[in-house]
Amino acid sequence: DAGITQSPRHKVTETGTPVTLRCHQTENHRYMYWYRQDPGHGLRLIHYSYGVKDTDKGEVSDGYSVSRSKTEDFLLTLESATSSQTSVYFCAITADQNTEAFFGQGTRLTVV
């Protein structure tokens, strides 16, 4: 299995609080992604990174920010959590074009 871990695996937080999810990889892959998965929507891309300090927005980036200060870590921050951000969040990594993506186990976030 590819070395990719997400933390925490489960989190319950209150509306209005900031939340940070961490994705850590040991594969030295260049590209990292954050997705959210909701029933009826499949996976939707939030943000992605194509190198250290290089990030770009995905389809549903509002309310989220990311940072990548080193190759192995990609952080997703919900600046002020809302109930609509209750979801399962997946991190993925790829080495380059035309290679498969490896996924983390997911983080189940509940905003109450």
Partner 1 sequence: SQQGEEDPQALSIQEGENATMNCSYKTSINNLQWYRQNSGRGLVHLILIRSNEREKHSGRLRVTLDTSKKSSSLLITASRAADTASYFCATLLSGGYQKVTFGTGTKLQVIP
Contact residues for partner 1, defined by CB under 8 A: 31, 33, 35, 40-45, 48, 50, 56, 58-59, 90, 92, 94, 96-106
- Record the tokens describing residue 15, joined without a space: 């509306």
| CA-to-CA separations, 59 to 24, 34, 44, in angstroms, rounded | 22, 11, 6
Least distance (Å) between residue 50 CB and partner 1 = 5
What DSSP character marks residue 28?
-
Which residue has tokens 């929507």?
41
Least distance (Å) between residue 92 CB and partner 1 = 7
Q: Which is nearer to partner 1, 14 or 40 (CB)?
A: 40
